[in-house]
Amino acid sequence: MPTKIKLAMILIVAALIGGLVAIQPGARAVAQGDAAAQLKRGEYLVHEVARCIDCHTPRTADGELDMTKLLQGAPTWFTPKIKPKGKWEDRAQDLTMSGLASKWGEERLVKFLSTGQKADAPMPAYKLTVEDAKAVVAYLRSLPGKKKS
Ligand code: HEC
């Protein structure tokens, strides 16, 4: 092989390797960005849309959510005039890592929240998309709860 071609090949191989090395940190940044976006979406769903916080966070004496105990389990703060059929629970469990986020784990929670599985009233049956359920669970699993992080 003439030296010029050899040199050209070496340069091409070097450029390819250089390209791969350059792309990798970018890919990692995208993956990290995805995880951050997923957590943000989970937080939005839990706080603003599905409103898990309303029942699973205890309240202060003046009825406000006690955000220092976010999603750490709470007594049910309302009673319907007519109780629905079946069991009525007077407590909503801890959903953080000191509770179901760790006890149930990701798979069981995602299934529970995306397939409309029933629990006792007043827990609603949710049929979130798997993607949204995963975001909710990722957010719940980011909360240490009563455990020190
Ligand atoms: C209207 C009040 C209310 C809302 C809103 C609510 N929950 Fe619950 N949740 C409860 C109560 C009460 C229980 C206890 C029911 C039981 O033990 O079966 C419960 C139980 C659960 C359980 C355990 C179910 C079981 O079978 O033991 C999980 C998991 C859960 N909730 C997750 C969530 C998530 C995640 C959200 C938001 C997407 C949410 N909950 C929103 C009241 C609520």
In a domain, residue 48? The reply is: yes
In a domain, residue 148? The reply is: no
In a domain, residue 147? The reply is: no
| Residue 106 pLDDT | 98
Q: Is the pLDDT of residue 15 over 80?
A: no
What range does the domain containing 57 cover?
Answer: 3-80+88-140
How confident is the model over 31-75, as pLDDT tens digits?
888 999 999 999 999 999 999 999 999 999 999 999 999 999 999
Query: Residues 122-127: contacts with CB within 8 Å, 24+ apart?
Result: 122/55, 122/76, 122/78, 122/80, 122/84, 122/88, 122/89, 123/55, 123/89, 123/92, 126/50
Number of CB atoms found within 10 A of residue 126's CB: 18
Total domains present in the chain: 1
In a domain, residue 146? The reply is: no
The model's pTM? 0.84
Cβ < 6 A, ligand 1 pocket: 46, 50-52, 54-56, 76, 89, 92-93, 95, 100, 109, 112-113, 119-120, 122-124, 126, 136
In a domain, residue 119? The reply is: yes
In a domain, residue 31? The reply is: yes
Q: What is the mean pLDDT of residues 92-115?
A: 98
| Residue 116 pLDDT | 97
